[in-house]
Chain A
Amino acid sequence: MNRGILLSILICLTGWHTVNGQDETCEYSVSGKIFDLETREPLPFASVQVQGTTKGASTDTTGYFEINKICQDEFDLIISFVGYKRVIHHHDVYHDLPTIYMVRDQVTLESIVVEGEQMPGELKSLALSEISGKALESSRSDNLGDVLSNISGVSTLSTGQNVVKPIIHGLHSNRVLIINNGLRHEFQNWGVEHAPEIDPSLTERIQVVKGAATVRYGPEAMGGVILIDGPALDLHEDLNGRAGVQVSSNGRAIGADIRLQKGYVHTAYLAQASYIRQGDLRAPDYMLTNTGKEERSLSFGFRYHQPEYNLTAYYSNFYQNLGILRASVAGNLDDLENAIESDEPTIIDPFSYDINNPRQEVDHNLLKIKGEWFKDQHVFELQYGFQVNHRQEYDVRRGTLNELPSIDLKLYSHTLDGAWEHPEFRGWNGNAGFQYAYQNNDNQPGTNTVAFIPNYDLHRIGLYLTEAKMFGENRWEWGLRYDLQAMDVRGRAQDNSVYTNQLSFQNASGTIGFSRNISENLNFRTNIGTAWRPPNVFELYVFGRHQSTIEYGIWRYDIDPDGNVLTDVILDEDDREVKSETGVKWISSLSWERNKFRGEVTGYVNYIGNYIFSSPGGTTSTVRGAFPFFLYDQTDAIFTGVDAAGEWRHSQYWNSQLKMSYVYARDVKNKSWFLEIPPLRFDYQMNYKPSIVFLPNSEIGLSVAYVFNQWNAPPVIPISEVQDAQESGNAVYQPGSTFDFTNPPDAYFLVNASFSGGWRKIDYRLDIRNVLNSSYRMYTNRLRYFADEPGINFRISFSYSF
Chain B
Amino acid sequence: MKSILTANIVILSLAAFVFSSCGDDDAPPIENMEEEITRITAVFTNRDDASDVITAIWFDEDGEGTIDPVVDDVVLSTNTEYHLELFLENTLADPVEDITNEVKEEASEHMFFFGFTDGMFADPAGNGNIDGRNDPLNYLDADDNTLPLGLETVWTTGDATTGDLQIILKHQPDIKSETSTSADGETDVDISFDVTIE
Chain A residues with CB under 8 Å of chain B are 329-332, 334-335, 338, 346-347, 396-399, 401, 414, 416, 418, 420, 432, 434, 436, 438, 440, 442-451, 454-455, 457, 459, 461, 463, 488, 490-492, 494-496, 498, 500, 543-545, 550, 552, 557, 564-568, 618, 620-625, 629
Contact present for A629 and B66 (CB under 8 Å):
yes
With most chain A CB atoms within 10 A of its CB, the pick from B8, B15, B62 is B15
* The one of B24, B36, B171, B190 that contacts A625, using a Cβ cutoff of 8 Å: B190
Q: Bound complex: CA of A191 vs CA of B91, how far in Å?
A: 29
Q: Bound complex: CA of A461 vs CA of B11, how far in Å?
A: 11
In this complex, how many residues of chain B approach chain A with their Cβ under 8 Å: the count is: 56
Contact present for A624 and B106 (CB under 8 Å):
no
* The one of B27, B34, B183 that contacts A448, using a Cβ cutoff of 8 Å: B34
Asked, given contacts A455-B26, A625-B190, whether A346 binds B31 with beta carbons under 8 Å apart, the answer is: no
6 additional contacts (CB under 8 A) given A550-B64, A620-B65: A440-B22, A491-B27, A621-B60, A623-B37, A623-B188, A625-B187
With most chain B CB atoms within 10 A of its CB, the pick from A347, A488, A495, A543 is A495
Contact present for B186 and A330 (CB under 8 Å):
yes
* The one of B11, B24, B32, B106 that contacts A398, using a Cβ cutoff of 8 Å: B106
Q: Bound complex: CA of A620 vs CA of B64, how far in Å?
A: 8
Contact present for B187 and A567 (CB under 8 Å):
no
- CB-nearest residue of chain B to A726: B68
CB distance from A292 to the nearest CB of B (A): 16
Contact present for A450 and B19 (CB under 8 Å):
no
Contact present for A438 and B12 (CB under 8 Å):
no
A-B contact list, 12 entries, CB within 8 Å: A331-B185, A398-B102, A398-B103, A399-B109, A420-B4, A448-B31, A488-B25, A494-B63, A495-B94, A543-B64, A566-B66, A620-B65
- CB-nearest residue of chain B to A458: B23
- CB-nearest residue of chain B to A495: B92
Q: Bound complex: CA of A19 vs CA of B58, how far in Å?
A: 82
Contact present for A620 and B68 (CB under 8 Å):
yes
Q: Does B96 contact A (CB under 8 A)?
A: no
A543 / chain B contacts, CB cutoff of 8 Å: 64
B95 / chain A contacts, CB cutoff of 8 Å: none
A332 / chain B contacts, CB cutoff of 8 Å: 187, 190
Contact present for B28 and A396 (CB under 8 Å):
no
* The one of B8, B66, B102 that contacts A565, using a Cβ cutoff of 8 Å: B66
B186 / chain A contacts, CB cutoff of 8 Å: 329-331, 335, 396
Q: Mark B26-43, 1 if CB is under 8 A from A, else 0.
A: 111111111111101000
Contact present for A496 and B94 (CB under 8 Å):
yes
B67 / chain A contacts, CB cutoff of 8 Å: 567-568
Q: Bound complex: CA of A565 vs CA of B68, how far in Å?
A: 11
With most chain A CB atoms within 10 A of its CB, the pick from B25, B28, B175, B184 is B28
9 A-B pairs with the lowest CB-CB distances in the bound complex, closest first: A331-B186, A331-B187, A438-B19, A451-B28, A443-B28, A625-B190, A445-B29, A567-B65, A544-B64
Q: Does B136 contact A (CB under 8 A)?
A: no
Q: Bound complex: CA of A149 vs CA of B28, how far in Å?
A: 37
Q: Mark B92-108, 1 if CB is under 8 A from A, else 0.
A: 10100000001101100
A621 / chain B contacts, CB cutoff of 8 Å: 60, 68-69
Asked, given contacts A496-B30, A623-B38, A623-B60, whether A618 binds B8 with beta carbons under 8 Å apart, the answer is: no
CB distance from B66 to the nearest CB of A (A): 5
Q: Bound complex: CA of A484 vs CA of B170, how far in Å?
A: 50
A418 / chain B contacts, CB cutoff of 8 Å: 8, 11
Q: Bound complex: CA of A728 vs CA of B116, how far in Å?
A: 20
B38 / chain A contacts, CB cutoff of 8 Å: 623
CB distance from A374 to the nearest CB of B (A): 15
Asked, given contacts A434-B8, A543-B64, A550-B64, whether A624 binds B188 with beta carbons under 8 Å apart, the answer is: yes
CB distance from B158 to the nearest CB of A (A): 27
Contact present for A500 and B66 (CB under 8 Å):
no
A454 / chain B contacts, CB cutoff of 8 Å: 27-28
Q: Bound complex: CA of A398 vs CA of B36, how far in Å?
A: 11
Asked, given contacts A418-B11, A449-B33, whether A623 binds B66 with beta carbons under 8 Å apart, the answer is: no
A550 / chain B contacts, CB cutoff of 8 Å: 64
Contact present for B25 and A331 (CB under 8 Å):
no
A557 / chain B contacts, CB cutoff of 8 Å: 66
Asked, given contacts A331-B171, A622-B60, whether A463 binds B26 with beta carbons under 8 Å apart, the answer is: no
Q: Bound complex: CA of A557 vs CA of B67, how far in Å?
A: 12
B175 / chain A contacts, CB cutoff of 8 Å: 347
B19 / chain A contacts, CB cutoff of 8 Å: 414, 438, 459
A449 / chain B contacts, CB cutoff of 8 Å: 31, 33-35
Contact present for A545 and B64 (CB under 8 Å):
yes
- CB-nearest residue of chain B to A422: B1
B28 / chain A contacts, CB cutoff of 8 Å: 442-443, 450-451, 454-455, 490-492
Q: Does B142 contact A (CB under 8 A)?
A: no
CB distance from B25 to the nearest CB of A (A): 7
Q: Bound complex: CA of A568 vs CA of B64, how far in Å?
A: 10
CB distance from B12 to the nearest CB of A (A): 6
* The one of B58, B62, B187, B190 that contacts A494, using a Cβ cutoff of 8 Å: B62
* The one of A401, A445, A544 that contacts B34, using a Cβ cutoff of 8 Å: A401
Q: Mark B153-191, 1 if CB is under 8 A from A, else 0.
A: 000000000000000000101010000000111111111
* The one of A416, A436, A494, A567 that contacts B92, using a Cβ cutoff of 8 Å: A494
Q: Does B20 contact A (CB under 8 A)?
A: yes
- CB-nearest residue of chain A to B68: A621
Q: Does B16 contact A (CB under 8 A)?
A: yes
B58 / chain A contacts, CB cutoff of 8 Å: 623
Contact present for A623 and B190 (CB under 8 Å):
yes
Contact present for B27 and A490 (CB under 8 Å):
yes
B69 / chain A contacts, CB cutoff of 8 Å: 621-623
Contact present for A334 and B62 (CB under 8 Å):
no
Contact present for B16 and A436 (CB under 8 Å):
yes
Q: Bound complex: CA of A415 vs CA of B68, how far in Å?
A: 46
B60 / chain A contacts, CB cutoff of 8 Å: 621-623
Asked, given contacts A416-B11, A623-B191, whether A401 binds B35 with beta carbons under 8 Å apart, the answer is: yes
Asked, given contacts A459-B20, A463-B8, whether A496 binds B31 with beta carbons under 8 Å apart, the answer is: yes
